[in-house]
Amino acid sequence: MTLLAGIIGLLLLAWGWDITTTGTGAGTLPWVVREQGLYLSGLLSIATMSLAMVLATRPVALERPLGGMDRIYRVHKWSGILAGIFALAHWLIEMSDDLIKSLAGRAGRPPKVEFHGLLDTLRDAGEELGEFAIYVLLAMLVLTLVRRFPYKFWRLLHRIMPALYLLLAFHAAVLTPLEYWSQPVGWLLAVLLAGGSVAAVLSLTGRIGRERLSHGTITAVSSPTPDITEVTCLLDKQWHGHRAGQFAFVCFDRLEGAHPFTIASADRGDRTVTFQIKALGDYTRGLARHIAPGQSVRVEGPYGRFELQRCDPRSEQIWIAGGIGITPFLAWLDALRADPASAPAADLHYCTRDAARDPFVGRLEALCAEIPGITLHVHDSSRNEALSAGRLATLHRGARQAEVWFCGPRGFAEQLRHGLQRTWPGRLRFHQEAFEMR
Residue 116 has pLDDT above 70, yes or no: no
Statement: residue 425 has pLDDT above 80? no
Q: How far apart are CA 417 and CA 432, in angstroms?
A: 10
Q: Does domain 210-303 correspond to CATH entry 2.40.30.10?
A: yes
More confident residue, 121 or 265: 265
Instruction: Give domain 2-204's CATH number out of 3.40.1010, 3.40.30, 1.10.405, 1.20.120.
Output: 1.20.120
Banded model confidence at residue 426, pLDDT cuts 50, 70, 90? confident
pLDDT for residue 115 is more than 70: no
**208-236: pLDDT as tens digits:** 999 999 999 999 999 988 889 999 999 99
The mean pLDDT of the chain is 89
| pLDDT score at 433 | 81
Q: Is 255 exposed, middle or buried (0-12, 13-18, 19+ CB in 10 A)?
A: exposed
Q: What are the domain boundaries of the chain?
A: 2-204, 210-303, 308-432
Which of 47-61, 85-99, 273-287, 317-331 is predicted with the least confidence, judged by mean pLDDT?
A: 273-287
For 191-212, how does the pLDDT look when each residue is reduced to its tens digit (9 = 90+)?
999 999 999 999 999 899 999 9
| pLDDT bracket for residue 45 (50, 70, 90) | very high
pTM (predicted TM-score): 0.88
- Closest C-alpha to 420, from 398, 394, 438: 394
pLDDT value at position 201?
Answer: 97
**429: burial class by Cβ within 10 Å (0-12, 13-18, 19+)?**
exposed
| Per-residue pLDDT at 26 exceeds 80 | no
The dihedral built from the CA positions of residue 244, 334, 352 and 252, taken in this order, carries a sign that is positive
Tell me, yes or no, if the two domains 210-303 and 308-432 fold the same way. no
Q: Assign domain 308-432 to a CATH class.
A: alpha beta
Q: What is the pLDDT of residue 100?
A: 84
What is the reported pLDDT for 347? 94
Bridge partners, 401 (sequence order): 427
Confidence label for 248 from pLDDT (cuts 50, 70 and 90): very high
Q: What tens digit of pLDDT does each residue of 376-414 get? A: 999 998 888 889 888 888 888 767 788 999 999 988 999
* pLDDT given at position 180: 92
pLDDT over 70 at 435, yes or no: no
Strands 374-380 vs 346-352: parallel, antiparallel or unpaired:
parallel
